[in-house]
Amino acid sequence: MKKILLVIIMLPSMAFAQTVPTFEQVLSLRGAGSPVVSPDGKLVLYNVTTTDWNDNRYDTELWISRDGGKPSQLTNTAKGNSSNAAFSPDGQWIAFLADRGSKTQIHVMRTEGGEARAVTKEEEPISAFEWHPSGNSFIFLKPEKEDKVRKEVEKRYGAFETDDKEFTQSHLWQIDFVGDQLDPSELPCYESVDSLRIKTGCIMWPKAKKLTNGKFTVTGFITSPDGTKVAYSHQPDPLINSSVHADISIVELTTAKSTVLVDQPGPDGLEDWSPDSKELLYTSSAGDTSSYYYLNNKLFSLRIADKSSRRLAADFDENIGGLKWTLSGIYFAAWNKTRRPLMKLDAATGKTSVFLQTPEQIFGFSVSKSGDQMAFAGRNGDQLNEIFVTTTTNPKPQPITRMTEQTTNWKVAQSEVISWKSKDGAVIEGVLHKPANYDPKKKYPLLVVIHGGPTGIDTPTPVPVYVYPIVQWLNKGCLVLRPNYRGSAGYGEKFRSLNVKNLGVGDAWDVLSGVDYLDKQGLIDKSKMGCMGWSQGGYISAFLTTTSDAFKAISVGAGISDWMTYYVSTDIHPFTRQYLKSTPWSDEGMYKKSSPMTYINQAKTPTLIQHGEFDRRVPISNAYQLLQGLRDKGVKAELVVYKGFGHGITKPKERLAATWHNWQWFNKYVWGEQVELPVGTK
């Protein structure tokens, strides 16, 4: 039965002459996400991201589908993005954020047709907004004005910055929305020069009213469905490590009076209002301030009337978030191993259950006002992300996008989820990719690609993208293993804690045991293996460079070389303290055990190091440390610095470069082929 199904599925794709996509083609794949369903459930807005090679950027614009029909592009922001789409409560208007030349503003267009216009003229860029339930105003978030003193100081003394002391707080504002607002430029008001000296017919932009004040920054907000108040999360300042102090307050819209609701130690996160505006969902570390990087957060419902909280979803062993409390119930999507079902939470019992598990992975979702209609982004393991619509009463998801068709003529990656036992007996899963024309009789070279996080996860996908040309390598003739090593998301709190005080060491076990497993299956040629990864995956790759000689080549992307170097110079100091349960000064041995540099004298593997010039998460000192160590030991090593980038390579041209650099490195050291970087225009 299964076999027949497979044949049927294969047939249509066999009909096409299939080709290996170019790197540019892979990096040019359009992506769909962030669906928003209209209040009446008939329309779905979503984001489509395309690659703009001319301006070297990714462009996100809004698309719309009506009654499940063929979608069409809705917005067109030149040299900028259109995002954060939101229907007005009556469905007549679509609001979104875009920077069209004068900072990011709220723009509004009629649902029935016509272009958008800016309805705010704020001097600071708006970062988030919501329609007030009345439809007559917006609640929005924007940073405070730039400090004038700061400018004066720079004028006289030049540029300097005191660490952790300089930041801009963001606060909540409310502004009226006037549907037929004319641009005041088009009907000027001659208050001072009108020969009639009568101020008439003057039109003005609505002026925003400030809702929150004080020495804190607002990080998120949700307006109560009854329109009387706004719940917001806040922390003392926007510095990344201040999230441990994140609390939740509420502001009354009529009085702009704020009241603190949740202020436990450790991060507290805002989730959603109950439809009757009487309860508020929030997540919390429940007072924990030393393990929240890897322990499950906890979900609570707070009764506004008496501020009492009750625990929900206690039966759910994963991090929880992105909950939506609708008239048909509370929904959330969460990892369950390599699948991501949509879950439903019973508000009364606090119990969770699977609501929808097809497609295999469900991401962002949106529910209509009645709670009956739903749109979500999701995919099966052999698909690109699609936008689906379904009823919630009798869920039968129907895709409204055809994003996967972009790869119709491509030889894409075949994926299967495999599992093996690691050195300590822990069961590890991973995604094994095989080429389209896989020959089971052959032993293939193996490339291991390791995700970051460590709380990331790899899942089956036809075209894995970032800076590793996985599809091209597969078609060149190899297998690719992407292990969900200990600490990965999706396998429960215990698994996520397995790397505590054991970073690197345990991770290396998981990778090498996976390689051994494949070897035992007779799938791979152990003499031709490479390993690579970015961030935590770069760290594990670096650890394998200095602790193993299993690989012919390794690529370390934005990886950690030395936990002491990392700890003192990163922007997230608590991360290291939580995983290593120490500081370098309290337990230097712990830091040594987990650091690739500790084992530099044993390093043999030719290593490519890739790093963003201004990476604050994993500062570039880590790259130079590994580079110099390898050079001193006479191990082949190269460092490529991507100019202007932080922790990620976020632009298409440099992604293309980083892809080529990996292609060259592994082709040389795994396959023994010299590849020149092509120059000139195609």
Partner 1 sequence: MKKILFILLLLPGLLGAQTKRPIVASDLMKIITTAGTQISPDGSKAVTVVVRKAVKNDNEYYYTRHLYLLDLMGTAAPVQLTFGDKNDGQPAWSPDGKHIAFVRADGEKSQIWLLPMNGGEAHAITKEEYGARGPVWSPDGKRILFSASIPFYAISGKTPWTYERPGRTQGDEPNFKNMKADEKKKMTTSPDGSLEEVRAWLAKNMSESNPRVLLRQNLQGELNLQPDEEFSHLFIKTVGSDEKAVQITSGFQNFNGAEWSADGKTILCQSRAYKLHPDRERDNDLWTIDVDSKTAKEFLTMPGYSVNNPGYSPDGTQILFYAVPNQNRHATQVQLAVVSATGGKPTVLTATFDRDVSNAIWSADSKSIYFAAQTDGDIPLYSIPAKGGTISKLIGNDSGVNDFDMRGDKIVYSLTETKNPWELYLFNIKDKSNRALTQFNESWMKDRQVSAPKEYWITRPDGSKVQYWVQEPVGKKDGMKYPTILNIHGGPAAMWGPGIFSMWHEYQLENSWGYGLVYCNPRGSGGYGDKFKKGNFKDWGNGPASDILSALDDAVSKNSWIDKDQLVVEGGSYAGYMVAWLVGHDNRFKAANAQRGVYDLTTFLGEGNAWNLVHNDFGGFPWDKEIRPLLDSESPYTYVDKINTPLLIIHGDQDLRTGVIQSEMLYKSLKIMNKPVEYIRYPKEGHELTRSGNPGRMMDHMLRVIEFFERYVKHPEPPPATLK
Task: Report the residue from 51, 105, 111, 336 that binds partner 1 according to the rule CB under 8 A.
Answer: 111
Question: Which of 10/182 has CB closer to partner 1?
Answer: 182
**3 state DSSP class of 629:** helix
350: left (phi > 0), else alpha (psi -120 to 50), else beta? left
Among 186, 204, 305, 682, binds partner 1 (CB under 8 A): 186
Residue nearer to partner 1 on the CB measure, 49 or 241? 49
Give all strands (DSSP E) within 240-289, no chain letters. Answer: 247-252, 258-262, 268-273, 279-284
Answer for which of 2, 17, 113, 161 binds partner 1 (CB under 8 A) is 113
Write the DSSP symbol of residue 400.
-
Instruction: Pick from 76, 228, 308, 398 the residue near partner 1 by CB under 8 A.
Output: 76
Nearer to partner 1, 74 or 450 (CB): 74
Using CB under 8 A as the binding rule, whether residue 201 contacts partner 1 is answered as yes
Interacting residue with partner 1 among 22, 56, 73, 408 (CB under 8 A)? 73
Cβ atoms of 255 and 209 closer than 8 Å = no
Q: Residue 480's closest CA among 497, 496, 466, 491?
A: 466
Longest dimension (CA), the chain: 94
Residues 32-71, interacting with partner 1 (CB under 8 A): 64, 66
Which of 54, 162, 195, 254 touches partner 1 (CB under 8 A)? Answer: 195
Give the three-class secondary structure for 467. Answer: coil
If one asks whether residue 105 binds partner 1 (CB under 8 A), the answer comes out as: no
Residue 446, H or E segment:
strand 444-450
Q: Mark the segment that binds partner 1 (CB under 8 A) among 122-130, 187-195, 323-331, 668-676.
A: 187-195
The C-alpha atoms of residue 362 and residue 395 are separated, in whole angstroms, by: 13
Binder of partner 1 out of 75, 242, 243, 361 (CB under 8 A): 75
Interface residue with partner 1 among 145, 155, 156, 197 (CB under 8 A) is: 197
Pairing, β 524-534 against β 553-557: parallel
With respect to partner 1, which residue has the nearer C-beta, 61 or 271? 61
Contact present, 602 and 546 (Cβ < 8 Å): yes
C-beta of residue 399 within 8 angstroms of C-beta of residue 405: no
- Regarding 110 and contact with partner 1 (CB under 8 A), the answer is yes
Applying CB under 8 A, the span of 197-205, 566-574, 595-603, 615-623 interacting with partner 1 comes to: 197-205
DSSP 8-state secondary structure symbol assigned to residue 596: G
Q: Is residue 521 part of the contact set for partner 1 (CB under 8 A)?
A: no
- Which residues fall within 8 angstroms of residue 176, CB to CB, at 6 or more apart? 136, 137, 206
**Closest separation between CB of residue 331 and partner 1, Å?**
27
Q: Which of 3, 112, 158, 589 binds partner 1 (CB under 8 A)?
A: 112
Chosen residue from 106, 116, 474, 531 binding partner 1 by CB under 8 A: 116
- Work out whether 196 is an interface residue with partner 1 (CB under 8 A): yes
Among 185, 254, 527, 674, binds partner 1 (CB under 8 A): 185
Tell me if 270 contacts partner 1 by CB under 8 A. no
12 sits near partner 1 (criterion: CB under 8 A): no
- The least CB distance from residue 194 to partner 1, in Å, is 6
Cα separations in angstroms, 79 against 46, 60, 61, 306: 19, 10, 11, 49
* Bridging pattern class, strands 209-210 and 170-176: antiparallel
513 phi, psi to nearest 5 deg: -70, -30
Q: Which is nearer to partner 1, 73 or 521 (CB)?
A: 73
For partner 1, the closer CB: 47 or 301: 47
CB of 313 to partner 1, least distance (A): 38
Q: Are 489 and 457 in contact (CB under 8 A)?
A: yes
What is the rounded CA–CA span in Å between residue 101 and residue 388? 34
State the nearest-atom distance from the C-beta of 209 to partner 1, in Å: 25
Q: Is 627 within 8 Å of 610 (Cβ atoms)?
A: no
The yes or no reply on residue 194 touching partner 1 (CB under 8 A) is yes
In Å, what is the CA distance from 665 to each residue of 546, 557, 606? 18, 13, 9
Name which of 14 and 193 has its Cβ closer to partner 1: 193
CB of 162 to partner 1, least distance (A): 38
255 binds partner 1 (CB under 8 A): no
Cβ closest to partner 1, residue 349 vs residue 408: 408
Among 5, 7, 15, 114, binds partner 1 (CB under 8 A): 114
Q: Looking at beta carbons only, is 201 or 644 nearer to partner 1?
A: 201
Minimum CB distance to partner 1, residue 680 (Å): 13
187 near partner 1, judged by CB under 8 A:
yes
681 near partner 1 (CB under 8 A): no
- Closest by CA position to 313, among listed 285, 346, 341, 340: 346
Query: What sign does the CA torsion over 427, 428, 431, 437 have?
Result: negative
Least Cβ distance, residue 109 to partner 1 (angstroms): 7
* Contact by Cβ (8 Å): 499, 506: yes
Least distance in angstroms from the C-beta of 68 to partner 1: 14
Identify the residue whose tokens are 């009764």.
Answer: 303
Candidates 54, 72, 162, 254; binder of partner 1 (CB under 8 A) is 72
**565: helix, coil or strand?**
helix
To the nearest whole angstrom, how small is the minimum distance from the Cβ of residue 361 to partner 1? Answer: 29
367-406 footprint of partner 1 as x/- string (CB under 8 A): ----------------------------------------
Site membership for partner 1, residue 117 (CB under 8 A): yes
**CB of 509 closer than 8 Å to CB of 422:** yes
Token output for 406: 């972009």
Closer residue to partner 1 (CB): 185 or 255? 185
User: Does residue 193 bind partner 1 (CB under 8 A)?
Assistant: yes
Q: Does residue number 188 form part of the binding site for partner 1 (CB under 8 A)?
A: yes
Is the bond preceding residue 454 a cis peptide, omega within 30 degrees? yes
**Dihedral sign (CA 156, 158, 159, 164):** negative
- For residue 511, the 8-state DSSP code is H
Query: Whose CA is closest to 681, among 28, 54, 26?
Result: 54
Q: How far is the CB of 186 from partner 1 (least distance, A)?
A: 5
On whether the CB atoms of residues 111 and 92 are closer than 8 A, the answer is: yes
Query: With CB under 8 A, what is the number of residues at the site for partner 1?
Result: 32
Q: Is residue 202 classed as helix, strand or coil in its secondary structure?
A: coil
Task: Please report how many Cα atoms fall inside a 13 Å half-sphere around the Cα of residue 668, on the Cβ side.
Answer: 19
Where on the chain is the footprint of partner 1 (CB under 8 A)?
64, 66, 72-76, 78, 100, 109-117, 180, 183, 185-188, 190, 193-198, 201
